Amino acid sequence: QVQLVESGGGSVQPGGSLRLSCTPLGFTANFYVIGWFRQAPGKEREGVSCISNSDDSTYYADSVKGRFTISRDEANNTTYLQMNSLKPEDTAVYYCALDPSRIFPTMMGQFDYWGQGTQVTVSS
C-alpha cells in the first residue's frame, strides 16, 4: 500500500551536485523519520541522512556532513537530499526509506518502507 517514489539520481563529475527527492504515497502516519541509505558494490549498506517530520531535526553521516543537506517540503510531502561537492566515493545506489515508529532522526530505527533506489555515479 505504501510506496516511496524516489528520483534525482544521475551521473556527475567530481565536485558536482545532485538533488534526490522522495515522496511517500498512501502513508497516513502522523510522525515519521525519512531519509536515505546507500549501497555500493562490495560495501555494506550505509545510512546517509534522515529527517524527522515532527520538528525537521536531522542526522548526517560523518562522511557527508557539510556537503549534503536534507530537507522537507510540507506542502508537497516531499523530502529532498541536496548533494553538493560530490566525490567518487559517493557513488552508490541511494534508497529512500521511512521509519513510521520514531520521531528522533536515527538510521538505527525500523525502516519499514523503501523506495526503488536511484543510481548516483560520480566520475570524470
Task: Quick: pLDDT tens for 35-58.
Answer: 999 999 999 999 999 999 999 999
Give the C-alpha distances (Å, rounded to integers) separating 58 from 3, 5, 26, 54, 94: 22, 21, 24, 11, 18
Q: According to the model, what pLDDT value does residue 99 have?
A: 96
Distance CA 17, CA 107 (A): 23
- What would the mean pLDDT of 69-87 be, rounded to a whole number? 96
- What would the mean pLDDT of 78-82 be, rounded to a whole number? 97
- Can you name the residues that pair with 59 across neighbouring β-strands? 50
- What would the mean pLDDT of 99-120 be, rounded to a whole number? 96
Exposure on the CB side of residue 103, measured as CA atoms within 13 A: 4
Q: According to the model, what pLDDT value does residue 1 have?
A: 83
Backbone angles phi, psi at 89, to 5 degrees: -70, -10
